[in-house]
C-alpha cells in the first residue's frame, strides 16, 4: 500500500449510544449479521460434517457490530462512521479471530481503550476492523498508519494509534513474504535480546521470522534435515513422471481468514478448492446407492445432534464420557441403521470423524471434542498446487536455522536460557520458544530444568495426540475421474473402518498423476507396523476392485511412500484433540509461558481456537512473537526503572497500597483486587502478607510446611516470620484463579503450595509485577474512581465484599 492517503472523504461523525453488551433488548443498538460467510460445505474431506445444534458453535451468538442511531450528544458520545460497510468489515475481523462487538483479552491487557464497554470501545473496534480489512485487501503492501490520520476525527486519534500499534505488534497486519514486507526487515539485529527457537515447523518459522522483523537476534534449532515439521512435501518421481506429495499437513482450511492463504496470495500461488463430490464404493468395489448414502448421512448427523443434547443434559459428567460411547448408545437406541450396508456406511462416517480429530472416538471427549467449532474461519478448503513446501520455503527464507540439532535439555531461569542439543553443544539466549509437537512433550523427549509447572504437565497428559497416516502413489497416468478430488471406500470390519477409507486425487495440483490413500483411527495405529509392500498391495486391490469392472486398467505405481508419523521421533503422532477428561482450557495452559517470561510455547496444540491445523500452528508462532516482544520490552523497562527509580513505578506502588486498603476479596493472609468486569478471565492482583500480622492457620502452619516440595521458599518466608518482619509479595492472575485459590483447604501454607506448585505462579515483589500489572493497577484505580463518582452506595465498601475466613 502506498504511503499516500487513499482518496476517501474524511469520516463523518454521528452521535449514538454505545451498545450495552449485557442487554438483550431489541432497543439495544446492535446489528446482527447473517452467516453467509460460514457455509456448511463439509462433506467428505475429513472435516466435521456439520455443527450439531447443541454444540458450542451452535450456541455462539451471531456476529454483531454497533449500529449508528443518532441523538444529540457531546463529541465523547460520538460513534464515528467509516466510509465502508461496517458489516462486511466486521465479518473480516471475525474471520481473523476478533469478536466484532467486544475486545480480545490481549487488547484489554494492552490497554487499547481507557473505558472498556463504552463508546470509546465501539470506535476503537470500528477503526481496528477498518485497518484490518484494508490490509486484507492490500496484503502485498505495507499498511502505514499515516494515510488514515486525516480520516479519523481528532478525538479518536489515540484510538487509531492504539489499533494500529496492536495490529502490527500482534502480527494481524504487515506479516508474510511480500517484497514490501520483507524490505522492512532489518539487516542486523536492533535489540540486544537473543531468542532460541526450538523447531522449524510452521509455528517456529512464523515466530522466528516475525522476531527477526522485530529486531531480535534469533537462532532456530531443528532436529531434522529439513524445515516444515509435520508439513512435508516429498517430490515423487519415476519414468519421467513427477509429483509433489503432501505427506503431512495438506489442506488449507477456511480460506476467508486463513493467514496462510494470505501468504499464498503474496507468493502468487493459486489455491484449488476441494470439490464436494465424493462418491463411495462398497467393499466389493461397486458404487453405493446414492439414496442409501444420503439416508445414512442424515441419520449420522441426527445422532450428532442427539449427542449434543445428551451432553447438555449430562452437565459436568459429560467431560468423563467419550463421543464414541455416546454415538454407539444413541445408534442402538435409534434403530435407523440395520442392514450391513448401512452399518458399513455409518462406520465410514465414524472413520471420517476420527480423521477430522486424529483420534479414536473412544478417546474423544463428548463434552469438548468440537470446542473449536465457533472459531471456524469460513470459506473453502483448498489444496496448494505444488505442495505446501512452497509456503515453508518462503517462510524459511533468510531465517537462521541450524539443522540436525536434536534438543534434549532446556534450562531456564532469571538469567536466561540454555538449550542443550545432541553432542552436548549448548545454545544460550535470553528467552526460548519451544514449538515441538505435543507427542514429544508427552513422552518427555525434552528435559526441562526446572521441571515445568504441574498444571502444564497435567494439561500435556490430558490432551490427546492422535494419528493419521497416508499412502502416496505416483502412477504412469490418471485412470480415475478428474472431475472429483475425493472418493471413499467402505469395509465390513468396524475395527478397520479407517483403513484406506478416503482417497485424495492430487492429479490437478501435484504436477503428476498422484493418488493418496488415508488411514485413520485404530487402523492408523496398526498401519505403523504393516509392511509397506502389503499396504500398497491392499490399496491396489481396492482400486482394481473399483475400476476394473468399469473396464479401466489400474497400473502398478511408479513410486509409493507410506508415512509413519506415530514412530517419527520428531513428532510421535499427527495432531491434537480434546481427549476424555480434557477441555479447551488445556490448550491455553499449554500456551502459557514459564520462568517469569523466559520460556514460551507455540504449536497447534497451544491454540484452543485453531488446534490440529496448519494455520493454528502459524498463528501460535505469531502470537508468541508478540508475547516475547512484550516480555522483552517489560524487562528493558524494568532495567530502566531500577536504574532511574522511576516516578511512575513509585506512583503505581502508592496506588497499589491504597487499592489494597479495600480489597475485593480476603482469605487468610491473602487479599485480592479485581480488574475489569465479572469475567472469570479478567485480571486480578493477589497480595500475600507474611510477618507479625500473619493470620493463624486453622490447621497450624508448621506441620503443613513439611508437605511442600518448595522448601527453599518456605525457609525464606520462615526467616521473615522469626524476625517479626512484614513482607508483601504479589502476583498477577485471573479472577477465576483467585476464586479457585480461596477454596483450597488446609490454611495459608496449603494455599501457598497450591499457588506455586499447582498453578505454577511465581510470587514477586512490587517491582517484579512489571508494566502489565501497572496497566491493571491503573485500570482498577480508574474503575474505582468512576464508581465513587456515581450516586448511591459504592461496590467497594468493605461491608459489601466477601470476607472468607481461613480454612
As to burial, measured by CB atoms within 10 angstroms (0-12 exposed, 13-18 middle, 19+ buried), residue 104 is middle
784 pLDDT band, cuts 50/70/90, is: confident
The enclosing domain of 460 has a CATH number of: 3.50.50.60
Per the DSSP assignment, residues forming a β-bridge with 198 are: 221, 434
Q: Is the pLDDT of residue 39 over 50?
A: no
Mean pLDDT of 30-37: 30
Q: Which residue in 628, 319, 560 sits closest to 462, CA to CA?
A: 319
What is the separation of C-alpha 39 from the centre of its chain, rounded to a whole number of angstroms? 22
What pLDDT was estimated at residue 781? 82
Q: Which residue in 343, 333, 279 sits closest to 307, CA to CA?
A: 333
Lowest mean pLDDT among 227-231, 438-442, 757-761: 757-761
Kind and range of the H or E run holding 727 = strand 727-734
788 pLDDT band, cuts 50/70/90, is: low
Mean pLDDT of 215-221: 98
Query: In 3-state terms, what secondary structure has residue 553?
Result: coil
Report the phi/psi class of residue 449: left, alpha or beta, with left for phi > 0 and alpha for psi in -120 to 50: beta
Residue 58 lies inside a defined structural domain of this protein: no
What pLDDT was estimated at residue 24? 33
* Residue, of 724 and 260, whose pLDDT is higher: 260
Residues 660 and 764 in one domain: yes
Q: Is the pLDDT of residue 22 over 60?
A: no
* Integer Rg of the chain from CA: 28
* Residue, of 95 and 803, whose pLDDT is higher: 95
CA distance 769 to 767: 5
CA distance 744 to 497: 47
DSSP state of 664: S
Q: Is the pLDDT of residue 37 over 60?
A: no
Q: Which of 82-86, 296-300, 725-729 has the highest mean pLDDT?
A: 296-300
What pLDDT was estimated at residue 785? 75
Residues 425 and 473 in one domain: no
Residue 205 lies inside a defined structural domain of this protein: yes
What pLDDT was estimated at residue 28? 30
CA distance 175 to 139: 9
Lowest mean pLDDT among 9-18, 668-677, 726-735: 9-18
726 pLDDT band, cuts 50/70/90, is: low
What pLDDT was estimated at residue 604? 98
Picking from 132, 149, 174, the residue at the C-terminal end of a domain is 174
Residues 474 and 532 in one domain: yes
Please tell me the total number of residues recorded for the chain in this structure. 807
Question: Could you identify the residue written with the cell 492408523?
Answer: 524
Residues 760 and 684 in one domain: yes
Q: What are the cell numbers at 520?
A: 485413520
Q: Is the pLDDT of residue 214 over 80?
A: yes
Does the CA dihedral 381-387-392-395 come out positive or negative? negative
Tens digit of pLDDT for each residue in 747-761? Answer: 888 888 889 888 888
Q: Is the pLDDT of residue 424 over 90?
A: yes
Q: How many percent of the chain have pLDDT more than 70?
A: 81
Residues 454 and 600 in one domain: yes
Residues 589 and 445 in one domain: yes
What pLDDT was estimated at residue 682? 85
Residues 248 and 383 in one domain: yes
Tens digit of pLDDT for each residue in 173-212? Answer: 999 999 999 999 999 999 999 999 999 999 999 999 999 9
CA distance 354 to 612: 12
CA distance 324 to 361: 4
Q: Please, where are the H alpha helices in 676-769?
A: 701-705, 711-722, 735-742, 747-753
Q: Which residue in 779, 780, 642 sits closest to 110, CA to CA?
A: 779
What pLDDT was estimated at residue 643? 52
Lowest mean pLDDT among 322-326, 603-607, 722-726, 794-798: 794-798
Q: Is the pLDDT of residue 73 over 70?
A: no
466 pLDDT band, cuts 50/70/90, is: very high
Residue 269 lies inside a defined structural domain of this protein: yes
Lowest mean pLDDT among 506-520, 592-606, 701-715: 701-715
Q: Is the pLDDT of residue 725 over 50?
A: no
Query: In 3-state terms, what secondary structure has residue 751?
Result: helix
What pLDDT was estimated at residue 29? 29
What pLDDT was estimated at residue 84? 65
Whether pTM > 0.85 for this model: the answer is: no
CA distance 465 to 524: 13
What pLDDT was estimated at residue 71? 38
- The C-alpha angle 220, 224, 227, rounded to 5 degrees, equals 60
Mean pLDDT of 236-256: 95
Residue 368 lies inside a defined structural domain of this protein: yes
Tens digit of pLDDT for each residue in 639-676? Answer: 765 555 444 555 667 788 888 988 999 999 999 999 87
The domain of 535 spans 233-280+379-387+466-562
CA distance 83 to 288: 53
CA distance 772 to 774: 5
Q: Is the pLDDT of residue 74 over 60?
A: no
**What does the mean pLDDT of the chain come to?**
84
Q: Are residues 442 and 456 in contact, defined by beta-carbon separation less than 8 angstroms? A: no
What pLDDT was estimated at residue 443? 97
Helix pair angle (157-169, 614-644), 10° resolution: 120
Could you please report the per-residue DSSP string of 104-172? -HHHHHHT--SSTTSHHHHHHHHHHHHHHHHHHHSTTS---SHHHHTTS-GGGHHHHHHHHHHHHHTTS
β strands within 174-287, DSSP E: 194-198, 217-221, 233-238, 241-246, 272-273, 280-281
Q: Is the pLDDT of residue 426 over 80?
A: yes
What pLDDT was estimated at residue 19? 35
Residue 531 lies inside a defined structural domain of this protein: yes
Residue 73 lies inside a defined structural domain of this protein: no
Q: Is the pLDDT of residue 254 over 50?
A: yes
DSSP state of 718: H
Residues 747 and 659 in one domain: yes
34 pLDDT band, cuts 50/70/90, is: very low
Mean pLDDT of 444-449: 97
CA distance 562 to 540: 14
What pLDDT was estimated at residue 205? 98
As to burial, measured by CB atoms within 10 angstroms (0-12 exposed, 13-18 middle, 19+ buried), residue 87 is middle
Residues 659 and 769 in one domain: yes
Task: Give Dmax (Cα) for the chain.
Answer: 94
Residue 265 lies inside a defined structural domain of this protein: yes
Lowest mean pLDDT among 274-288, 399-413, 731-745: 731-745
Total Cβ atoms within 10 A of residue 703? 11
Residues 351 and 307 in one domain: yes
CA distance 650 to 684: 20
Q: Is the pLDDT of residue 133 over 90?
A: yes
Residue 29 lies inside a defined structural domain of this protein: no
Residues 121 and 160 in one domain: yes
Tens digit of pLDDT for each residue in 469-497? Answer: 999 999 999 999 989 999 999 999 999 99
The enclosing domain of 528 has a CATH number of: 3.90.660.10
Residues 326 and 419 in one domain: no
3-state helix, strand, coil in the chain (%, to 5): 40, 15, 45
53 pLDDT band, cuts 50/70/90, is: very low
Query: In 3-state terms, what secondary structure has residue 505?
Result: strand
* Residue, of 693 and 410, whose pLDDT is higher: 410
Per the DSSP assignment, residues forming a β-bridge with 600 are: 433
Q: Is the pLDDT of residue 281 over 50?
A: yes
Question: Could you identify the residue written with the cell 459436568?
Answer: 316
Q: How many structural domains is the chain composed of?
A: 5
Amino acid at each position: 500500500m502506498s504511503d499516500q492517503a487513499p482518496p476517501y472523504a474524511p469520516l463523518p461523525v454521528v452521535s449514538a449510544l454505545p451498545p450495552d453488551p449485557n442487554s438483550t433488548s431489541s432497543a439495544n443498538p446492535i446489528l446482527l449479521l447473517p452467516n453467509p460467510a460460514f457455509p456448511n460445505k463439509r462433506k467428505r474431506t475429513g472435516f466435521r460434517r456439520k455443527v450439531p445444534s447443541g454444540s458450542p458453535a451452535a450456541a455462539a451468538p451471531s456476529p454483531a457490530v454497533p449500529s449508528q442511531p443518532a441523538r444529540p450528544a457531546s463529541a465523547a458520545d460520538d460513534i464515528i462512521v467509516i466510509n465502508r460497510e461496517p458489516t462486511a468489515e466486521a465479518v473480516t475481523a471475525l474471520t481473523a479471530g476478533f469478536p466484532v462487538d467486544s475486545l480480545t483479552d490481549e487488547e484489554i491487557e494492552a490497554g487499547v481503550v481507557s473505558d472498556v464497554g463504552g463508546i470509546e470501545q465501539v470506535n476503537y473496534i470500528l477503526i481496528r476492523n477498518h485497518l484490518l480489512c484494508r490490509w486484507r485487501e492490500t496484503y502485498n503492501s505495507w499498511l502505514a498508519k499515516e494515510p488514515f490520520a486525516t480520516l479519523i476525527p481528532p478525538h479518536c486519534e489515540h484510538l487509531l494509534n492504539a489499533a494500529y500499534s496492536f495490529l502490527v505488534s500482534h502480527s494481524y497486519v504487515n506479516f508474510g513474504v511480500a517484497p514490501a514486507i520483507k524490505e522492512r526487515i532489518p539487516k542486523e539485529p536492533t535489540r540486544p535480546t537473543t531468542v532460541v527457537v526450538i523447531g522449524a515447523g510452521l509455528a517456529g518459522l512464523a515466530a522466528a521470522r516475525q522476531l527477526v522483523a522485530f529486531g531480535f537476534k534469533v537462532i532456530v534449532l531443528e532436529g531434522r534435515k529439513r524445515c516444515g515439521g509435520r508439513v512435508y512435501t516429498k517430490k515423487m518421481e519415476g519414468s519421467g513422471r513427477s509429483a509433489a506429495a503432501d505427506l503431512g499437513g495438506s489442506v488449507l482450511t477456511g480460506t476467508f481468514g486463513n493467514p496462510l492463504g494470505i501468504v499464498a496470495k503474496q507468493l502468487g500461488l493459486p489455491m484449488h478448492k476441494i470439490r464436494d463430490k465424493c462418491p463411495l464404493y462398497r467393499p466389493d468395489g461397486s458404487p453405493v446407492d446414492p439414496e442409501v448414502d444420503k439416508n445414512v448421512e442424515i441419520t449420522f448427523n441426527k445422532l450428532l445432534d442427539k449427542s449434543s443434547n445428551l451432553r447438555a443434559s449430562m452437565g459436568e459428567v459429560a467431560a468423563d464420557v467419550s463421543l464414541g460411547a455416546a454415538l454407539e448408545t444413541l445408534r442402538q437406541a435409534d434403530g435407523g441403521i440395520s442392514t450391513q450396508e448401512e452399518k458399513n456406511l455409518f462406520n465410514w462416517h465414524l472413520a471420517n470423524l476420527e480423521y477430522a480429530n486424529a483420534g479414536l472416538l473412544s478417546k474423544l471427549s463428548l463434552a469438548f471434542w468440537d470446542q473449536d467449532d465457533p472459531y471456524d474461519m469460513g470459506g473453502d478448503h483448498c489444496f496448494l498446487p505444488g505442495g505446501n513446501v512452497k509456503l515453508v520455503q518462503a517462510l524459511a527464507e533468510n531465517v537462521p536455522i541450524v539443522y540436525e540439532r536434536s534438543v534434549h535439555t532446556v534450562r531456564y531461569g532469571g538469567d536466561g536460557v540454555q538449550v542443550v542439543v545432541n553432542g552436548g553443544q549448548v545454545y544460550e539466549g535470553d528467552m526460548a520458544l519451544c514449538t515441538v509437537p505435543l507427542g514429544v512433550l508427552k513422552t518427555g523427549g525434552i528435559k526441562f530444568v526446572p521441571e515445568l509447572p504441574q498444571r502444564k504437565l497435567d494439561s500435556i497428559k490430558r490432551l490427546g495426540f492422535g494419528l493419521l497416516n497416508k499412502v502416496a502413489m505416483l502412477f504412469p497416468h490418471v485412470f480415475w475421474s478428474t472431475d472429483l478430488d475425493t472418493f471413499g471406500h467402505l469395509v465390513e470390519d468396524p475395527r478397520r473402518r479407517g483403513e484406506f477409507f478416503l482417497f485424495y486425487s492430487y492429479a490437478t495440483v501435484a504436477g503428476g498423476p498422484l493418488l493418496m490413500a488415508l488411514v485413520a483411527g485404530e487402523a492408523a495405529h496398526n498401519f505403523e507396523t504393516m509392511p509397506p509392500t502389503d499396504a500398497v498391495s491392499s490399496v491396489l486391490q481396492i482400486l482394481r476392485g473399483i475400476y476394473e469392472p468399469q473396464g479401466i486398467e489400474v497400473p502398478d505405481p511408479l513410486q509409493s511412500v507410506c508415512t509413519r508419523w506415530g514412530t517419527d521421533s520428531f513428532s510421535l503422532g499427527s495432531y491434537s484433540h480434546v481427549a476424555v477428561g480434557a477441555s479447551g482450557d488445556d490448550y491455553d495452559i499449554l500456551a502459557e509461558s514459564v520462568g517469569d517470561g523466559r520460556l514460551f510455547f507455540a504449536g497447534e496444540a497451544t491454540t484452543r481456537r485453531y488446534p490440529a491445523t496448519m494455520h493454528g500452528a502459524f498463528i501460535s508462532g505469531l502470537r508468541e512473537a508478540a508475547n516475547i516482544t512484550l516480555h522483552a520490552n517489560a524487562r528493558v523497562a524494568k532495567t530502566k526503572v531500577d536504574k532511574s527509580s522511576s516516578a511512575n513505578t513509585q506512583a503505581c506502588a502508592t496506588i497499589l497500597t491504597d487499592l489494597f486498603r479495600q480489597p475485593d476479596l480476603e482469605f487468610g493472609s491473602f487479599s485480592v483486587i479485581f480488574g475489569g468486569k465479572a469475567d472469570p478471565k479478567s485480571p486480578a492482583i493477589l497480595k500475600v502478607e507474611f510477618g507479625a500480622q500473619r493470620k493463624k492457620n486453622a490447621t497450624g502452619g508448621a506441620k503443613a510446611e513439611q508437605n511442600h516440595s518448595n522448601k527453599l521458599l518456605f525457609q525464606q518466608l520462615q526467616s521473615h516470620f522469626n524476625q517479626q518482619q512484614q513482607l508483601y509479595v504479589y502476583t498477577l492472575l485471573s479472577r477465576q484463579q483467585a476464586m479457585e485459590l480461596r477454596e483450597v483447604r488446609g490454611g495459608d501454607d496449603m494455599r501457598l503450595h497450591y499457588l506455586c506448585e499447582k498453578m505454577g505462579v511465581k510470587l514477586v515483589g512490587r517491582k517484579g509485577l512489571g508494566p502489565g500489572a501497572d496497566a491493571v493497577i491503573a485500570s482498577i484505580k480508574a474503575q474505582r474512581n468512576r464508581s465513587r463518582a456515581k450516586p448511591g452506595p459504592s461496590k467497594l465498601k468493605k461491608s459489601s465484599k466477601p470476607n472468607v475466613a481461613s480454612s
